[in-house]
Amino acid sequence: MNIFSILNSLMDRRDKQFLVILLFLTFVISLVELLGVSAILPFIAIVSDFSLIYKNKYIHFFYSFLHFNSPVQFIIILGILLICYYFLRGVLNFLYYYILSRFSYGRYKKIADKLLNNYLFLPYIRFIEIDSPTIFRTILGESQSLSQLISSMILLISELFTIILLYILLLLVNWESTLILTITFSLIFLFFIKTISKQIKKESTRRAVNQKTAHKVVTNTINNFKWIRLIASEKLFFKHFTEAMNDIAKSNIIYNSLVHFPRLFLEFIGFAIIIFIVIFFISRSEENISNIIPYISVYVVALYRILPSYNRILSSYNAIMFNIKSVYIIGGELSREPEALGDEKIVFHKEIKLKNIYFNYENNKCILKNIEMVVVQGSRVSIEGASGTGKSTLLDLIMGLQKPDEGEVLIDGVKLEDKNIKNWRMKIGYIPQDIFLFDGTLAENIVFGRKYVKNNIISALEKANMEHILMRKKGINTKIGEGGINLSGGEKQRLAIARAIYGNPEIIIMDEATSALDLSIETKIMSELYNICHDKTLIIVSHRQNTVKNCDKCFEIKNGHIYELI
Using DSSP, state whether 112 is helix, strand or coil: helix
pLDDT one-digit tens code per residue, 307-351:
777 777 877 887 888 788 888 888 888 888 888 888 899 999 999
Give 50 or 421, the one with higher predicted confidence.
Answer: 421
Question: What percentage of the chain carries pLDDT values higher than 70?
Answer: 88
Calculate mean pLDDT across residues 397-418.
Answer: 91
Residue 355 binned pLDDT confidence (cut-offs 50, 70, 90) = very high
Given this model, what pLDDT does residue 437 score? 82
Calculate mean pLDDT across residues 217-225.
Answer: 72
Residue 229 binned pLDDT confidence (cut-offs 50, 70, 90) = low
Beta strands 553-558 and 537-541, pairing class: unpaired
Using DSSP, state whether 550 is helix, strand or coil: coil
Task: Judge contact between 390 and 442, C-beta under 8 A.
Answer: no
Beta bridge partners of 371: 357
Task: Judge contact between 115 and 139, C-beta under 8 A.
Answer: yes
Calculate mean pLDDT across residues 41-54.
Answer: 76
Distance CA 228, CA 124 (A): 29
Assigned architecture for domain 351-565? 3-Layer(aba) Sandwich (3.40)
> Which residues touch 319 (CB under 8 Å, ≥6 apart)?
148, 149, 152, 259
- Whether pLDDT at 396 is above 60: yes
pLDDT one-digit tens code per residue, 140-190:
888 888 888 888 888 888 888 878 887 787 777 777 777 777 787 778 778
Distance CA 558, CA 367 (A): 10
Distance CA 554, CA 302 (A): 86
Sheet with 380-384, side-by-side order of all strands: 428-431, 507-511, 537-541, 380-384, 553-558, 561-565
Residue 295 binned pLDDT confidence (cut-offs 50, 70, 90) = low
The DSSP H or E segment spanning 67 is: none
Calculate mean pLDDT across residues 186-215.
Answer: 77
Calculate mean pLDDT across residues 465-494.
Answer: 79
The DSSP H or E segment spanning 19 is: helix 13-38
CA 19 to chain centre: 20
Given this model, what pLDDT does residue 331 score? 85
Task: Judge contact between 169 and 298, C-beta under 8 A.
Answer: yes
CA 504 to chain centre: 35
Task: Judge contact between 29 and 93, C-beta under 8 A.
Answer: yes
CA end-to-end span of the chain, whole Å? 59
> Which residues touch 165 (CB under 8 Å, ≥6 apart)?
30, 31, 33, 34
> Which letter does DSSP use for residue 280 in this model?
H
Question: What percentage of the chain carries pLDDT values higher than 90?
Answer: 8
> Which letter does DSSP use for residue 193 in this model?
I
- Whether pLDDT at 412 is above 70: yes
Distance CA 418, CA 421 (A): 5
Distance CA 159, CA 91 (A): 17
Give 220 or 226, the one with higher predicted confidence.
Answer: 220
Beta strands 351-360 and 406-411, pairing class: antiparallel
> Measuring CA to CA, how many Å separate 230 from each of 223, 225, 227, 266?
14, 9, 5, 58
Lowest mean pLDDT among 70-74, 182-186, 444-448: 182-186
Residue 34 binned pLDDT confidence (cut-offs 50, 70, 90) = confident
> Which residues touch 477 (CB under 8 Å, ≥6 apart)?
441, 442, 443
Helices (H), 402-555: 418-425, 442-447, 454-463, 467-470, 489-501, 519-532, 545-548
> Which letter does DSSP use for residue 506 in this model?
S
Q: Phi-psi region for residue 205, left (φ > 0), alpha (ψ -120 to 50) or beta?
A: alpha
Lowest mean pLDDT among 104-113, 152-161, 254-263, 409-418: 254-263
- Whether pLDDT at 17 is above 80: yes
Distance CA 483, CA 492 (A): 9
Distance CA 493, CA 461 (A): 12
Per-position DSSP letters for 43-65, written without gaps between them: HHHHHH-TTHHHHSHHHHHHHHH
Domain residue spans in the chain? 3-334, 351-565
- Whether pLDDT at 522 is above 90: no
Residue type present at position 261:
F
Distance CA 199, CA 272 (A): 27
Task: Judge contact between 350 and 377, C-beta under 8 A.
Answer: yes
56 φ/ψ angles, rounded to the nearest 5 degrees: -85, 120
Average pLDDT, the chain: 80
> Which has the closest alpha carbon to 200: 135, 152, 151, 270?
152
Given this model, what pLDDT does residue 57 score? 78
- Whether pLDDT at 35 is above 90: no
Cβ neighbour number for residue 364 with a 10 Å cutoff: 6
> Measuring CA to CA, how many Å separate 547 from each of 325, 515, 554?
52, 9, 11
Residue 537 binned pLDDT confidence (cut-offs 50, 70, 90) = very high
Residue type present at position 74:
F
Per-position DSSP letters for 305-350, written without gaps between them: HHHHHHHHHHHHHHHHHHHHHHHHHHHHHHTSPPP---------SS
Given this model, what pLDDT does residue 157 score? 83
Assigned architecture for domain 3-334? Up-down Bundle (1.20)
> Which residues touch 80 (CB under 8 Å, ≥6 apart)?
none
Given this model, what pLDDT does residue 109 score? 83
Q: Please report, to the nearest 10 degrees, the dihedral formed by the alpha carbons of residues 196, 202, 208, 214 taken in order.
A: -90
Beta strands 553-558 and 380-384, pairing class: parallel
Using DSSP, state whether 179 is helix, strand or coil: helix
> Which has the closest alpha carbon to 499: 466, 540, 524, 474?
466
Residue 237 binned pLDDT confidence (cut-offs 50, 70, 90) = confident
> Which letter does DSSP use for residue 416 in this model?
P
State pTM to two decimals: 0.67
Distance CA 248, CA 210 (A): 6
Supply angle C-alpha 489, 494, 499, rounded to 5: 125
